[in-house]
């Protein structure tokens, strides 16, 4: 982190709608707060498995509440998150592993595209309700994010490489080490220690802890 700036890490997975809300809100705060924002693509499936966490919608009442909550949140944050009645089937039926490996490959080779690429994945999945797991759809997302055909193709080839697989595993393990049990996991490094905040609705608390 630059002198006197607080490093804030956002551990996220594009399958997580609340991660999108936290991502957009932090992108805005970045211009007002004295923070260095670092995006950390990780795998939500791995975090759920390692911590024994269950998808919130497994509890029907909680699922009902979440649908309303996400509608309110998207309106409040002005993020085009469109929730359909079958949103949870949509999540359960999608594996984000390839997408997150692709994002990781771009983070390792062309990090300047990390922000627009992640945003386009959320747009495609949560705004347009389109698939993000198949190679041709991943390439379509990359194209929209401004990546060249050549770059995207190279990143797609890297998806199955040990370096990319290991990097995603390491980032996920790092989130777990900080105490993450779901996404988004926001970690602020302040006063010599990491402070974990879970979810997209703890940002005022984060600001308070880091003196903003």
User: In this prediction, what percent of the chain has a pLDDT beyond 90?
Assistant: 86
The alpha carbon of residue 163 and the mean position of all alpha carbons in its chain are separated, in whole angstroms, by 20
CA dihedral (39, 43, 46, 52) in degrees, to 10, reads 70
Q: Which of 16, 19, 96, 152 is catalytic?
A: 16
Taking domain 6-210, whether its CATH number is 3.40.30.10 is answered by yes
Domain boundaries, given as residue ranges, for the chain: 6-210
**Per-residue pLDDT, 91:** 83
Asked if 16 is an active-site residue, the reply is yes
Q: Are 23 and 11 in contact (CB under 8 A)?
A: no
**Per-residue pLDDT, 155:** 98
pLDDT per 10-residue tile (average), the chain, 212 residues: 82 97 97 96 96 85 90 96 83 92 98 98 96 97 98 98 98 98 97 96 95 94
pTM, full prediction: 0.95
**Per-residue pLDDT, 59:** 86
**Per-residue pLDDT, 204:** 94
Order across the sheet with 6-12: list the strands.
Answer: 35-41, 6-12, 185-190, 193-198
**Per-residue pLDDT, 85:** 77
Question: Which of 56, 59, 60 shows the shortest CA–CA distance to 17?
Answer: 56
**Per-residue pLDDT, 35:** 96
**Per-residue pLDDT, 3:** 61
């Amino acid at each position: 982190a630059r002198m006197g700036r607080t490093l804030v890490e956002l551990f996220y997975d594009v399958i997580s709608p609340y991660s999108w809300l936290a991502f957009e809100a932090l992108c805005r705060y970045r211009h007002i707060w004295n923070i260095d924002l670092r995006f950390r693509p990780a795998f939500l499936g791995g975090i759920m498995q390692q911590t024994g966490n269950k998808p919130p919608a497994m509890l029907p009442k909680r699922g009902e509440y979440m649908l309303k909550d996400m509608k309110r949140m998207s309106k409040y944050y002005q993020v085009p998150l469109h929730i359909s009645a079958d949103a949870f089937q949509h999540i359960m039926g999608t594996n984000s592993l390839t997408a997150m490996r692709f994002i990781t490959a771009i983070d390792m080779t062309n990090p300047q595209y990390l922000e627009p690429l992640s945003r386009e994945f959320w747009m495609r999945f949560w705004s347009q309700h389109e698939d993000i797991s198949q190679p041709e759809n991943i390439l379509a997302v990359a194209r929209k994010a401004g990546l060249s055909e050549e770059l995207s193709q190279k990143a797609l080839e890297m998806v199955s490489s040990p370096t990319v697989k290991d990097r995603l595993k390491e980032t996920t393990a790092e989130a777990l080490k900080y105490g993450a049990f779901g996404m988004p996991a926001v970690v602020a490094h302040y006063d010599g220690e990491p402070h974990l905040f879970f979810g997209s609705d703890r940002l005022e608390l984060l600001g308070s802890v880091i003196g903003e």
